[in-house]
Structure 1
Protein backbone atom coordinates (compact mmCIF):
# COMPACT_ATOMS: atom_id res chain seq x y z
CA UNK A 1 0.00 0.00 0.00
CA UNK A 2 1.35 3.45 -0.95
CA UNK A 3 1.34 6.64 1.01
CA UNK A 4 -2.07 8.04 1.98
CA UNK A 5 -3.45 10.85 -0.15
CA UNK A 6 -4.90 12.49 2.96
CA UNK A 7 -2.61 13.13 5.93
CA UNK A 8 -4.41 13.40 9.27
CA UNK A 9 -3.17 15.24 12.33
CA UNK A 10 -5.14 15.99 15.46
CA UNK A 11 -4.35 19.12 17.50
CA UNK A 12 -6.61 19.30 20.51
CA UNK A 13 -10.16 19.28 19.18
CA UNK A 14 -9.09 20.23 15.66
CA UNK A 15 -8.63 17.69 12.89
CA UNK A 16 -6.10 18.84 10.27
CA UNK A 17 -6.46 17.17 6.87
CA UNK A 18 -3.72 17.65 4.26
CA UNK A 19 -4.13 16.88 0.57
CA UNK A 20 -1.05 14.75 0.00
CA UNK A 21 0.01 14.42 -3.61
CA UNK A 22 2.63 17.20 -3.81
CA UNK A 23 4.46 15.71 -6.81
CA UNK A 24 1.28 16.39 -8.83
CA UNK A 25 0.49 19.68 -7.07
CA UNK A 26 -2.16 17.87 -4.99
CA UNK A 27 -4.30 17.05 -8.03
CA UNK A 28 -7.67 15.72 -6.89
CA UNK A 29 -7.31 12.16 -8.13
CA UNK A 30 -10.15 9.77 -7.36
CA UNK A 31 -8.34 7.97 -4.54
CA UNK A 32 -7.73 11.31 -2.83
CA UNK A 33 -11.41 12.25 -3.11
CA UNK A 34 -12.45 8.93 -1.58
CA UNK A 35 -9.91 9.26 1.24
CA UNK A 36 -11.07 12.80 1.96
CA UNK A 37 -14.68 11.65 2.16
CA UNK A 38 -13.69 8.87 4.58
CA UNK A 39 -11.65 11.29 6.69
CA UNK A 40 -14.64 13.64 6.94
CA UNK A 41 -16.94 10.79 7.89
CA UNK A 42 -14.47 9.70 10.59
CA UNK A 43 -14.27 13.27 11.92
CA UNK A 44 -18.05 13.48 11.91
CA UNK A 45 -18.29 10.42 14.16
CA UNK A 46 -15.54 11.59 16.55
CA UNK A 47 -17.17 13.66 19.29
CA UNK A 48 -13.78 14.99 20.37
CA UNK A 49 -13.33 16.78 17.04
CA UNK A 50 -15.01 20.19 16.95
CA UNK A 51 -13.41 21.75 13.88
CA UNK A 52 -11.68 20.63 10.65
CA UNK A 53 -8.85 22.33 8.76
CA UNK A 54 -8.22 21.46 5.12
CA UNK A 55 -4.88 22.39 3.59
CA UNK A 56 -2.32 21.14 1.07
CA UNK A 57 0.96 19.34 1.61
CA UNK A 58 3.94 20.98 -0.06
CA UNK A 59 3.93 24.33 -1.83
CA UNK A 60 0.32 24.47 -3.02
CA UNK A 61 -3.26 23.74 -2.04
CA UNK A 62 -4.50 21.89 -5.14
CA UNK A 63 -4.04 22.20 -8.89
CA UNK A 64 -7.53 20.76 -9.38
CA UNK A 65 -8.57 17.84 -11.54
CA UNK A 66 -6.11 15.21 -12.67
CA UNK A 67 -5.65 16.12 -16.35
CA UNK A 68 -3.32 13.17 -16.89
CA UNK A 69 -6.20 10.82 -16.01
CA UNK A 70 -8.71 12.84 -18.03
CA UNK A 71 -6.52 12.73 -21.14
CA UNK A 72 -7.89 9.36 -22.24
CA UNK A 73 -11.26 9.47 -20.47
CA UNK A 74 -14.36 8.68 -22.48
CA UNK A 75 -17.52 10.77 -21.93
CA UNK A 76 -19.35 8.15 -19.86
CA UNK A 77 -16.35 7.66 -17.56
CA UNK A 78 -15.99 11.43 -17.19
CA UNK A 79 -19.58 11.81 -16.13
CA UNK A 80 -19.28 8.98 -13.63
CA UNK A 81 -16.11 10.58 -12.19
CA UNK A 82 -18.05 13.73 -11.35
CA UNK A 83 -21.05 11.86 -10.01
CA UNK A 84 -18.81 9.76 -7.75
CA UNK A 85 -17.54 13.00 -6.17
CA UNK A 86 -21.02 14.26 -5.26
CA UNK A 87 -21.04 12.48 -1.85
CA UNK A 88 -17.80 14.30 -0.92
CA UNK A 89 -19.20 17.71 -1.83
CA UNK A 90 -22.46 17.08 0.00
CA UNK A 91 -20.63 15.75 3.07
CA UNK A 92 -18.59 18.97 3.31
CA UNK A 93 -21.85 20.90 3.41
CA UNK A 94 -23.77 18.51 5.65
CA UNK A 95 -21.18 17.83 8.36
CA UNK A 96 -22.19 19.83 11.43
CA UNK A 97 -18.63 20.92 12.14
CA UNK A 98 -16.94 23.96 10.59
CA UNK A 99 -14.36 23.34 7.87
CA UNK A 100 -11.63 25.94 7.40
CA UNK A 101 -9.58 25.98 4.20
CA UNK A 102 -5.97 27.06 4.73
CA UNK A 103 -4.91 27.85 1.16
CA UNK A 104 -1.13 27.61 1.10
CA UNK A 105 -0.49 28.27 -2.60
CA UNK A 106 -2.23 27.57 -5.89
CA UNK A 107 -5.94 26.73 -5.76
CA UNK A 108 -6.81 26.03 -9.39
CA UNK A 109 -9.83 24.56 -11.12
CA UNK A 110 -11.51 22.02 -8.85
CA UNK A 111 -8.97 22.99 -6.16
CA UNK A 112 -10.49 26.50 -6.15
CA UNK A 113 -13.98 25.00 -6.19
CA UNK A 114 -13.09 22.79 -3.22
CA UNK A 115 -12.27 25.84 -1.09
CA UNK A 116 -15.74 27.26 -1.80
CA UNK A 117 -17.28 24.24 -0.07
CA UNK A 118 -15.53 25.21 3.17
CA UNK A 119 -17.05 27.47 5.83
CA UNK A 120 -14.01 29.76 6.14
CA UNK A 121 -11.12 30.42 3.76
CA UNK A 122 -7.74 31.71 4.91
CA UNK A 123 -5.02 32.24 2.33
CA UNK A 124 -1.31 32.87 2.47
CA UNK A 125 -0.01 36.03 0.84
CA UNK A 126 1.48 34.04 -2.04
CA UNK A 127 -1.67 32.00 -2.67
CA UNK A 128 -3.73 32.51 -5.80
CA UNK A 129 -7.04 31.27 -7.19
CA UNK A 130 -7.94 30.48 -10.79
CA UNK A 131 -11.05 29.04 -12.41
CA UNK A 132 -8.88 27.36 -15.03
CA UNK A 133 -11.53 25.10 -16.60
CA UNK A 134 -12.08 27.31 -19.64
CA UNK A 135 -8.36 27.15 -20.40
CA UNK A 136 -8.66 23.42 -21.15
CA UNK A 137 -12.11 23.46 -22.74
CA UNK A 138 -14.18 22.41 -19.73
CA UNK A 139 -16.93 23.90 -17.58
CA UNK A 140 -16.43 24.69 -13.87
CA UNK A 141 -17.21 21.74 -11.65
CA UNK A 142 -17.24 20.82 -7.95
CA UNK A 143 -20.24 23.18 -7.61
CA UNK A 144 -18.30 26.36 -8.43
CA UNK A 145 -21.17 27.62 -10.61
CA UNK A 146 -23.36 27.54 -7.52
CA UNK A 147 -21.07 28.93 -4.83
CA UNK A 148 -18.94 31.48 -6.66
CA UNK A 149 -21.89 33.66 -7.82
CA UNK A 150 -23.28 33.44 -4.30
CA UNK A 151 -20.05 34.97 -2.97
CA UNK A 152 -19.08 37.50 -5.62
CA UNK A 153 -22.14 37.98 -7.84
CA UNK A 154 -22.91 36.97 -11.41
CA UNK A 155 -20.80 39.54 -13.26
CA UNK A 156 -17.65 38.88 -11.26
CA UNK A 157 -18.21 35.13 -11.57
CA UNK A 158 -18.48 35.47 -15.33
CA UNK A 159 -15.17 37.31 -15.36
CA UNK A 160 -13.43 34.65 -13.28
CA UNK A 161 -14.93 31.68 -15.13
CA UNK A 162 -14.82 33.00 -18.71
CA UNK A 163 -11.34 34.56 -18.59
CA UNK A 164 -9.73 31.89 -16.42
CA UNK A 165 -7.18 34.34 -15.04
CA UNK A 166 -5.34 34.19 -11.73
CA UNK A 167 -6.70 36.10 -8.75
CA UNK A 168 -4.23 36.96 -6.01
CA UNK A 169 -5.04 36.24 -2.37
CA UNK A 170 -5.45 39.98 -1.73
CA UNK A 171 -7.89 40.38 -4.63
CA UNK A 172 -9.76 37.25 -3.55
CA UNK A 173 -10.13 38.85 -0.12
CA UNK A 174 -11.24 42.16 -1.63
CA UNK A 175 -14.05 40.61 -3.68
CA UNK A 176 -15.30 38.38 -0.86
CA UNK A 177 -13.89 34.91 -1.58
CA UNK A 178 -11.32 34.83 1.22
CA UNK A 179 -11.93 35.67 4.90
CA UNK A 180 -8.34 36.58 5.74
CA UNK A 181 -4.91 36.83 4.12
CA UNK A 182 -1.91 36.04 6.30
CA UNK A 183 1.80 35.38 5.83
CA UNK A 184 2.87 31.92 4.69
CA UNK A 185 4.64 31.37 8.00
CA UNK A 186 1.55 32.19 10.04
CA UNK A 187 -1.12 30.54 7.87
CA UNK A 188 -1.53 27.32 9.82
CA UNK A 189 -1.10 28.89 13.27
CA UNK A 190 -3.73 31.57 12.52
CA UNK A 191 -6.07 28.94 11.10
CA UNK A 192 -5.68 26.87 14.25
CA UNK A 193 -6.32 29.99 16.33
CA UNK A 194 -9.67 30.50 14.57
CA UNK A 195 -10.48 26.82 15.03
CA UNK A 196 -9.80 27.12 18.76
CA UNK A 197 -12.15 30.12 18.97
CA UNK A 198 -14.87 28.13 17.20
CA UNK A 199 -14.36 25.18 19.55
CA UNK A 200 -15.26 27.41 22.52
CA UNK A 201 -18.60 28.38 21.02
CA UNK A 202 -21.86 26.43 21.33
CA UNK A 203 -20.81 23.83 18.79
CA UNK A 204 -24.22 22.12 18.61
CA UNK A 205 -25.92 25.42 17.81
CA UNK A 206 -23.19 26.32 15.32
CA UNK A 207 -23.51 22.95 13.60
CA UNK A 208 -27.26 23.30 13.35
CA UNK A 209 -26.87 26.83 11.97
CA UNK A 210 -24.56 25.48 9.25
CA UNK A 211 -26.95 22.66 8.41
CA UNK A 212 -30.07 24.83 8.18
CA UNK A 213 -28.35 27.62 6.28
CA UNK A 214 -26.87 25.21 3.74
CA UNK A 215 -30.17 23.40 3.26
CA UNK A 216 -31.93 26.74 2.74
CA UNK A 217 -29.35 28.32 0.42
CA UNK A 218 -28.49 25.20 -1.57
CA UNK A 219 -31.92 23.77 -2.40
CA UNK A 220 -31.10 23.49 -6.11
CA UNK A 221 -27.54 22.21 -5.64
CA UNK A 222 -28.23 18.55 -6.43
CA UNK A 223 -29.90 19.58 -9.68
CA UNK A 224 -26.90 21.77 -10.54
CA UNK A 225 -24.49 18.91 -9.82
CA UNK A 226 -26.32 16.67 -12.28
CA UNK A 227 -26.42 19.42 -14.91
CA UNK A 228 -22.70 19.96 -14.28
CA UNK A 229 -21.98 16.26 -14.91
CA UNK A 230 -24.03 16.35 -18.12
CA UNK A 231 -22.33 19.52 -19.31
CA UNK A 232 -18.86 18.18 -18.61
CA UNK A 233 -19.85 14.98 -20.42
CA UNK A 234 -20.45 17.06 -23.57
CA UNK A 235 -17.22 19.03 -23.13
CA UNK A 236 -15.20 15.80 -22.92
CA UNK A 237 -16.32 15.05 -26.49
CA UNK A 238 -15.13 18.34 -28.00
CA UNK A 239 -12.02 19.01 -30.04
CA UNK A 240 -11.39 22.02 -27.79
CA UNK A 241 -11.00 19.75 -24.76
CA UNK A 242 -8.48 17.53 -26.55
CA UNK A 243 -6.57 20.62 -27.69
CA UNK A 244 -6.72 22.22 -24.24
CA UNK A 245 -5.27 19.18 -22.49
CA UNK A 246 -2.58 18.68 -25.13
CA UNK A 247 -1.60 22.36 -24.93
CA UNK A 248 -1.43 22.14 -21.13
CA UNK A 249 1.08 19.28 -21.23
CA UNK A 250 3.04 20.91 -24.06
CA UNK A 251 3.15 24.15 -22.04
CA UNK A 252 1.79 26.31 -24.87
CA UNK A 253 -1.28 28.44 -25.51
CA UNK A 254 -4.20 26.36 -26.83
CA UNK A 255 -5.65 27.04 -30.27
CA UNK A 256 -9.37 26.61 -29.71
CA UNK A 257 -11.79 26.31 -32.63
CA UNK A 258 -15.15 26.19 -30.84
CA UNK A 259 -15.73 22.60 -31.91
Structure 2
Protein backbone atom coordinates (compact mmCIF):
# COMPACT_ATOMS: atom_id res chain seq x y z
CA UNK A 1 0.00 0.00 0.00
CA UNK A 2 1.27 3.49 -0.80
CA UNK A 3 0.22 7.02 0.04
CA UNK A 4 1.77 10.42 -0.28
CA UNK A 5 3.68 10.09 2.96
CA UNK A 6 4.81 6.49 3.41
CA UNK A 7 5.21 3.25 1.48
CA UNK A 8 4.44 -0.10 3.12
CA UNK A 9 6.00 -3.33 1.88
CA UNK A 10 5.86 -6.85 3.24
CA UNK A 11 8.64 -9.42 2.90
CA UNK A 12 7.94 -12.65 4.73
CA UNK A 13 7.12 -11.80 8.32
CA UNK A 14 8.69 -8.34 8.02
CA UNK A 15 6.91 -5.07 7.31
CA UNK A 16 9.10 -2.40 5.70
CA UNK A 17 7.92 1.19 6.16
CA UNK A 18 9.51 3.84 3.95
CA UNK A 19 9.27 7.50 4.88
CA UNK A 20 8.26 8.78 1.47
CA UNK A 21 9.04 12.45 0.88
CA UNK A 22 12.45 12.23 -0.81
CA UNK A 23 12.12 15.73 -2.27
CA UNK A 24 12.21 17.11 1.30
CA UNK A 25 14.67 14.46 2.50
CA UNK A 26 11.74 12.82 4.29
CA UNK A 27 11.09 15.78 6.58
CA UNK A 28 8.68 14.75 9.31
CA UNK A 29 5.60 16.78 8.40
CA UNK A 30 2.67 16.18 10.73
CA UNK A 31 0.91 14.22 7.99
CA UNK A 32 3.88 11.86 7.78
CA UNK A 33 3.91 11.36 11.54
CA UNK A 34 0.22 10.45 11.52
CA UNK A 35 0.69 8.11 8.54
CA UNK A 36 3.60 6.41 10.30
CA UNK A 37 1.51 5.95 13.43
CA UNK A 38 -1.25 4.32 11.37
CA UNK A 39 1.25 2.00 9.65
CA UNK A 40 2.62 0.90 13.02
CA UNK A 41 -0.86 0.30 14.42
CA UNK A 42 -1.70 -1.81 11.35
CA UNK A 43 1.50 -3.85 11.83
CA UNK A 44 0.72 -4.28 15.51
CA UNK A 45 -2.67 -5.82 14.68
CA UNK A 46 -1.32 -8.10 11.93
CA UNK A 47 -0.32 -11.44 13.50
CA UNK A 48 1.68 -12.34 10.40
CA UNK A 49 4.04 -9.41 10.99
CA UNK A 50 6.80 -10.23 13.46
CA UNK A 51 9.18 -7.29 12.92
CA UNK A 52 9.10 -3.77 11.43
CA UNK A 53 11.86 -2.08 9.44
CA UNK A 54 11.79 1.71 9.21
CA UNK A 55 13.82 3.42 6.49
CA UNK A 56 13.73 6.40 4.12
CA UNK A 57 12.95 6.73 0.42
CA UNK A 58 15.65 8.29 -1.73
CA UNK A 59 19.09 9.17 -0.41
CA UNK A 60 18.23 10.06 3.18
CA UNK A 61 16.53 8.65 6.24
CA UNK A 62 14.97 11.88 7.51
CA UNK A 63 16.05 15.51 7.66
CA UNK A 64 13.94 15.96 10.77
CA UNK A 65 11.23 18.55 11.33
CA UNK A 66 9.56 20.25 8.39
CA UNK A 67 11.30 23.63 8.56
CA UNK A 68 9.18 25.02 5.71
CA UNK A 69 6.19 24.72 8.05
CA UNK A 70 8.10 26.82 10.60
CA UNK A 71 8.47 29.85 8.31
CA UNK A 72 5.08 31.18 9.35
CA UNK A 73 4.69 32.72 12.78
CA UNK A 74 4.12 30.12 15.48
CA UNK A 75 1.92 31.64 18.16
CA UNK A 76 2.31 30.87 21.88
CA UNK A 77 0.94 27.41 22.79
CA UNK A 78 0.91 26.34 19.09
CA UNK A 79 4.38 24.83 19.44
CA UNK A 80 3.33 22.92 22.54
CA UNK A 81 0.28 21.54 20.77
CA UNK A 82 2.38 20.63 17.73
CA UNK A 83 4.72 18.46 19.79
CA UNK A 84 1.87 16.93 21.75
CA UNK A 85 0.39 15.69 18.47
CA UNK A 86 3.53 13.57 17.99
CA UNK A 87 3.39 11.93 21.42
CA UNK A 88 1.09 9.04 20.37
CA UNK A 89 3.64 8.05 17.70
CA UNK A 90 6.52 8.07 20.17
CA UNK A 91 4.61 6.09 22.76
CA UNK A 92 3.41 3.55 20.19
CA UNK A 93 6.97 2.85 19.02
CA UNK A 94 8.02 2.21 22.60
CA UNK A 95 5.00 0.19 23.72
CA UNK A 96 4.25 -2.10 20.77
CA UNK A 97 5.49 -5.62 21.44
CA UNK A 98 7.17 -6.06 18.07
CA UNK A 99 10.76 -5.00 17.39
CA UNK A 100 11.43 -2.00 15.16
CA UNK A 101 14.74 -1.79 13.29
CA UNK A 102 15.88 1.54 11.86
CA UNK A 103 17.68 1.09 8.53
CA UNK A 104 19.45 4.44 8.26
CA UNK A 105 20.25 4.93 4.60
CA UNK A 106 21.52 8.52 4.68
CA UNK A 107 21.09 11.67 6.73
CA UNK A 108 19.35 11.30 10.10
CA UNK A 109 19.09 14.89 11.28
CA UNK A 110 17.21 16.59 14.08
CA UNK A 111 13.97 14.75 14.75
CA UNK A 112 15.10 12.19 12.15
CA UNK A 113 18.02 11.31 14.44
CA UNK A 114 15.65 11.29 17.42
CA UNK A 115 13.30 8.95 15.55
CA UNK A 116 16.04 6.35 15.19
CA UNK A 117 16.51 6.37 18.99
CA UNK A 118 12.91 5.22 19.43
CA UNK A 119 13.66 2.07 17.43
CA UNK A 120 14.87 -1.09 19.14
CA UNK A 121 17.88 -1.62 16.88
CA UNK A 122 19.72 0.72 14.49
CA UNK A 123 21.64 -0.43 11.42
CA UNK A 124 23.29 2.28 9.34
CA UNK A 125 24.71 2.50 5.86
CA UNK A 126 28.36 3.48 5.69
CA UNK A 127 27.11 6.59 3.84
CA UNK A 128 24.78 7.61 6.68
CA UNK A 129 25.42 10.39 9.16
CA UNK A 130 23.69 11.68 12.27
CA UNK A 131 23.27 15.23 13.56
CA UNK A 132 21.38 16.74 16.49
CA UNK A 133 20.76 19.89 14.46
CA UNK A 134 18.14 21.59 16.67
CA UNK A 135 20.56 24.10 18.18
CA UNK A 136 21.45 25.31 14.68
CA UNK A 137 17.98 26.85 14.32
CA UNK A 138 17.52 27.86 17.95
CA UNK A 139 15.44 24.91 19.19
CA UNK A 140 15.80 22.21 21.84
CA UNK A 141 15.92 18.53 20.84
CA UNK A 142 12.53 16.87 20.56
CA UNK A 143 11.10 13.40 19.91
CA UNK A 144 12.45 12.57 23.38
CA UNK A 145 16.12 12.74 22.34
CA UNK A 146 16.92 14.54 25.60
CA UNK A 147 15.93 11.31 27.34
CA UNK A 148 17.19 8.61 24.99
CA UNK A 149 20.52 9.96 23.75
CA UNK A 150 22.09 10.42 27.23
CA UNK A 151 20.75 7.00 28.20
CA UNK A 152 22.62 5.48 25.25
CA UNK A 153 25.91 7.37 25.28
CA UNK A 154 26.13 9.27 28.56
CA UNK A 155 25.36 12.84 29.50
CA UNK A 156 28.66 14.45 28.48
CA UNK A 157 28.73 12.95 24.99
CA UNK A 158 25.03 13.75 24.47
CA UNK A 159 25.58 17.37 25.50
CA UNK A 160 28.46 17.61 23.03
CA UNK A 161 26.27 16.41 20.14
CA UNK A 162 23.30 18.56 21.17
CA UNK A 163 25.24 21.75 21.97
CA UNK A 164 27.55 21.72 18.92
CA UNK A 165 25.02 20.40 16.40
CA UNK A 166 27.76 18.78 14.34
CA UNK A 167 27.32 15.70 12.20
CA UNK A 168 28.90 12.39 13.08
CA UNK A 169 29.55 9.51 10.71
CA UNK A 170 27.91 6.12 10.95
CA UNK A 171 31.21 4.68 12.20
CA UNK A 172 31.40 7.28 14.98
CA UNK A 173 27.76 6.63 15.84
CA UNK A 174 28.60 2.94 16.25
CA UNK A 175 31.68 3.78 18.32
CA UNK A 176 29.57 6.00 20.59
CA UNK A 177 27.03 3.19 21.08
CA UNK A 178 24.17 4.69 19.06
CA UNK A 179 24.28 2.27 16.13
CA UNK A 180 24.32 -1.54 16.37
CA UNK A 181 25.89 -2.22 12.98
CA UNK A 182 27.32 -0.36 9.98
CA UNK A 183 27.10 -2.02 6.57
CA UNK A 184 27.76 -1.01 2.98
CA UNK A 185 24.96 0.98 1.38
CA UNK A 186 24.11 -1.74 -1.15
CA UNK A 187 23.74 -4.30 1.65
CA UNK A 188 21.72 -2.19 4.08
CA UNK A 189 18.21 -3.47 3.37
CA UNK A 190 19.26 -7.11 2.74
CA UNK A 191 21.18 -7.09 6.03
CA UNK A 192 18.31 -5.51 7.98
CA UNK A 193 15.65 -7.76 6.44
CA UNK A 194 17.77 -10.80 7.27
CA UNK A 195 18.05 -9.56 10.86
CA UNK A 196 14.29 -8.96 10.99
CA UNK A 197 13.53 -12.46 9.73
CA UNK A 198 15.87 -13.95 12.35
CA UNK A 199 14.03 -12.00 15.04
CA UNK A 200 10.73 -13.25 13.64
CA UNK A 201 11.82 -16.84 14.24
CA UNK A 202 12.60 -16.24 17.90
CA UNK A 203 10.16 -16.52 20.79
CA UNK A 204 8.36 -13.34 19.79
CA UNK A 205 6.00 -13.29 22.79
CA UNK A 206 8.97 -13.39 25.17
CA UNK A 207 10.85 -10.81 23.11
CA UNK A 208 7.85 -8.49 23.05
CA UNK A 209 7.40 -8.76 26.80
CA UNK A 210 11.12 -8.09 27.31
CA UNK A 211 10.80 -4.89 25.26
CA UNK A 212 7.68 -3.83 27.15
CA UNK A 213 9.15 -4.39 30.62
CA UNK A 214 12.49 -2.83 29.70
CA UNK A 215 10.92 0.31 28.23
CA UNK A 216 8.45 0.74 31.08
CA UNK A 217 11.26 0.37 33.63
CA UNK A 218 13.77 2.63 31.90
CA UNK A 219 11.29 5.29 30.76
CA UNK A 220 9.21 5.83 33.89
CA UNK A 221 9.41 9.64 33.68
CA UNK A 222 9.07 9.86 29.90
CA UNK A 223 5.58 11.41 29.83
CA UNK A 224 6.70 14.15 32.18
CA UNK A 225 9.77 14.77 30.02
CA UNK A 226 7.61 14.96 26.88
CA UNK A 227 5.47 17.66 28.47
CA UNK A 228 8.55 19.60 29.57
CA UNK A 229 9.94 19.22 26.04
CA UNK A 230 6.72 20.55 24.51
CA UNK A 231 6.71 23.56 26.82
CA UNK A 232 10.39 24.25 26.21
CA UNK A 233 10.03 24.02 22.45
CA UNK A 234 7.02 26.35 22.59
CA UNK A 235 9.19 28.97 24.35
CA UNK A 236 11.98 28.51 21.79
CA UNK A 237 9.55 29.10 18.92
CA UNK A 238 8.98 32.63 20.30
CA UNK A 239 12.66 33.62 20.41
CA UNK A 240 14.55 35.86 18.02
CA UNK A 241 17.21 33.16 17.77
CA UNK A 242 14.68 30.71 16.32
CA UNK A 243 13.47 33.26 13.76
CA UNK A 244 17.06 34.02 12.80
CA UNK A 245 17.86 30.30 12.59
CA UNK A 246 15.02 29.68 10.14
CA UNK A 247 15.97 32.74 8.03
CA UNK A 248 19.59 31.60 7.91
CA UNK A 249 18.57 28.06 6.97
CA UNK A 250 16.65 29.22 3.90
CA UNK A 251 19.25 31.85 3.00
CA UNK A 252 21.95 29.15 3.25
CA UNK A 253 24.18 31.13 5.61
CA UNK A 254 25.46 30.91 9.14
CA UNK A 255 22.94 32.25 11.67
CA UNK A 256 23.79 35.17 13.93
CA UNK A 257 22.36 34.33 17.34
CA UNK A 258 21.97 36.86 20.12
CA UNK A 259 20.58 34.66 22.89
CA UNK A 260 17.24 36.46 22.80
Please state which band the TM-score falls in when normalised by the shorter chain: over 0.9
1:67-88 deviation per Cα after TM superposition (whole angstroms, max 9, x unaligned): 1101212232211110000000
- For residues 171 and 140 of structure 2, the distance between their equivalents in structure 1, rounded to whole angstroms, comes to 25
Q: Tell me which residue corresponds to 2:49.
A: 49
Matches within 5 A, 1:161-200: 161-200=162-201
Shift of 1:25: 0.5
- For residues 245 and 29 of structure 1, the distance between their equivalents in structure 2, rounded to whole angstroms, comes to 16
- For residues 109 and 61 of structure 1, the distance between their equivalents in structure 2, rounded to whole angstroms, comes to 11
1:80-121 deviation per Cα after TM superposition (whole angstroms, max 9, x unaligned): 110000000000000000000000000000000000000000
Counterpart contact for 1:70–1:78, Cα < 8 Å = no
Matches within 5 A, 1:1-259: 3-72=3-72, 73-259=74-260
Note the aligned Cα RMSD (angstroms).
0.8
1:221-254 deviation per Cα after TM superposition (whole angstroms, max 9, x unaligned): 0000000000001000000000000000000000
Gaps of at least 5 residues in structure 2 are: none
Shift of 1:4: 2.4
- For residues 4 and 191 of structure 1, the distance between their equivalents in structure 2, rounded to whole angstroms, comes to 24
1:196-222 deviation per Cα after TM superposition (whole angstroms, max 9, x unaligned): 110110000000000000000000000
Q: How many residues align?
A: 258
Find the residue that maps to 1:212 and give its secondary structure.
helix
Find the residue that maps to 2:86 and give its secondary structure.
helix
Shift of 1:3: 4.0
- For residues 236 and 17 of structure 1, the distance between their equivalents in structure 2, rounded to whole angstroms, comes to 31
1:30-84 deviation per Cα after TM superposition (whole angstroms, max 9, x unaligned): 0000000000000000000000000000000000000110121223221111000
- For residues 147 and 41 of structure 2, the distance between their equivalents in structure 1, rounded to whole angstroms, comes to 24
Counterpart contact for 1:19–1:57, Cα < 8 Å = yes
Find the residue that maps to 2:157 and give its secondary structure.
helix
Find the residue that maps to 1:211 and give its secondary structure.
helix
Q: TM-score, normalised by structure 1?
A: 0.99
